[in-house]
Chain A
């Protein structure tokens, strides 16, 4: 795509400081996110993929406990170094997040509708009919009885319904970028498919860009345009899904792809990440 990227991230680094010890969580993360693009971030737990996404709007502890370096430009506007007040206007309104555990992302003592309304009131004060916006966004994520879902408490909805409600909350503010952090890891395969189809449809209908964080290459293959792979805080491989998955260059990427059991390809043993890394080690010798 020749157009200017929506989000331009250069050399983004995050490090945490505690008790005088500095530990780097991620560094040198560089990518462009175009309008309507789905960019996948793949890596294991602790690879820094979530932290680099949270760093976009500094959903992290304040300085000096957590230092963010590099640059994040949203439509030409630098986000790193903005004040908390300024960032609050970006969060939700321009860059919205959905997380892995829909159950813990909602406040259990308020109704789903109330919580979505809260987000709408905070970010879109111009809207007078909040209730209908809430119901419209619940409807947009495929919830059949939006009014009833809005009046429900989180514990009354299933995991799949709650994740839809979370997406509805994100959509209600009409963000440009949706960061989906392992949105289906806690869900069943059938629900996972529905949520992924929903995200694909929203991208198509609204031209929304999605930063999709996952550890599952199966989802990446079906959903994303481009992908970058993270290991120990660094990007080890980056490119189009076709290129990266077709001929993975880095042994870590090969390992991640190889360890997934696939239907119809029964093997005696699953190859593990260690196997792939060891193999590349011996090849080098």
Chain B
């Protein structure tokens, strides 16, 4: 089953009430995501590109229930997880994890690495005891190219690239089937970016995890993705294979994005 569907998004909408809308006036809501449909196959990478404000991050956040779903379905192996409340969603939360853009803001500065990686384990694998968690933590650090001896350190003792590796390790801790990566490399230096991208690909080969890879850097998206979606103003304007989208783009917006990439 190499191409079985893991996640299907149908007509996803995320609308926010416009600030300043009064009790009596029904202002038009902010349509952050306005009817998006796509499929994430098991073990594959779907790239999601677009500018700031195009709704790509909100789409990713809606899938992990960090943004409210106004309409549409998010179907995980036949079950609609989009309309679930948080309690009902809990068993799915360990299947869908997220890696955030800012490696500085997304790790608790007061916790050590063991604490950061243990927390999801305590919630989703309560049967594990302390030494099990420590062993699992050591294994995760090795997997992302860090040293197990470093687990007692705090986030500020690591560089940006290393922190992003910790963020990836945290996402992997609960053995997810899908990781939503929201601009995971755009805050990193090009040299560090390359090693983190390679790490993500290695982990996919090894663990068969699928990625929803959100980025504005088309070259990185082309490199890592099996399927690419282009978003503009809350809508998917074009989707297809990376060769098709980036080789012969149909939509003018895709062409604008392509032109903006420095070429040499």
Contacts and interface: CB of A to CB of B under 8 A. Distances in A.
Interface of A: 44-45, 158-159, 188-193, 196, 215-219, 221-222, 245, 255-256, 259-264, 266-267, 269-274
B110 interface: no
Interface stretch (B18-26, B170-178, B212-220): B212-220
A261 B223 contact: yes
Interface residues of B, number: 34
A221 B264 CA distance: 6
Contacts, number: 101
26 contacts: A158-B52, A189-B217, A189-B257, A189-B260, A190-B256, A191-B51, A191-B52, A192-B262, A216-B262, A218-B261, A218-B263, A221-B263, A222-B263, A255-B191, A256-B190, A259-B191, A260-B219, A263-B222, A264-B246, A264-B247, A266-B242, A270-B195, A270-B197, A270-B223, A273-B191, A273-B194
B258 interface: yes
A45 B262 CA distance: 21
Nearest to B161: A45
A222 B242 contact: no
B223 A266 contact: yes
B160 interface: yes
**Quick one: which of A190, A191, A193, A267 has the most chain B CB within 10 A?**
A190
Contacts of B261: 189, 218, 263
B193 interface: yes
Contacts of B197: 261, 270
A159 B192 CA distance: 24
B51 A261 contact: no
A73 B220 CA distance: 41
B201 interface: yes
A274 B195 contact: yes
A159 B219 contact: no
Contact of A271 (B194, B220, B263): B194
Given A44-B192, A159-B52, A263 B216 contact: no
B189 interface: yes
Nearest to A160: B52
A263 B264 contact: no
B159 interface: yes
The 4 closest A-B pairs by CB, nearest first: A218-B262, A221-B264, A259-B194, A270-B194
Given A221-B264, A263-B261, A188 B219 contact: no
Given A45-B159, A188-B51, A263 B198 contact: no
Given A190-B257, A218-B261, A255-B191, A263 B201 contact: no
B233 to A, nearest CB: 14
B153 to A, nearest CB: 18
A259 B193 CA distance: 8
B85 interface: no
Interface in B140-180: 159-160
A236 to B, nearest CB: 14
Contacts of A159: 52
A279 B46 CA distance: 33
B259 interface: yes
A217 B258 CA distance: 17
**Quick one: which of A188, A216, A269 has the most chain B CB within 10 A?**
A188
A207 to B, nearest CB: 24
B219 A216 contact: no
B264 to A, nearest CB: 3
A227 B217 CA distance: 24
Given A261-B223, A270-B223, A192 B260 contact: yes
Contacts of A245: 264
Given A192-B260, A222-B264, A216 B52 contact: no
A188 B247 CA distance: 21
A197 to B, nearest CB: 10
B218 A189 contact: yes
Contacts of B242: 266
B191 A190 contact: no
Contacts of A269: 198, 201
A193 B216 CA distance: 13
Given A259-B193, A261-B219, A270-B223, A219 B262 contact: yes
A260 B190 contact: yes
A216 B160 CA distance: 17
Contact of B194 (A188, A189, A222, A272): A272
Contacts of B223: 261, 266-267, 270
Contacts of A191: 51-52
Contacts of A222: 262-264
A152 B116 CA distance: 40
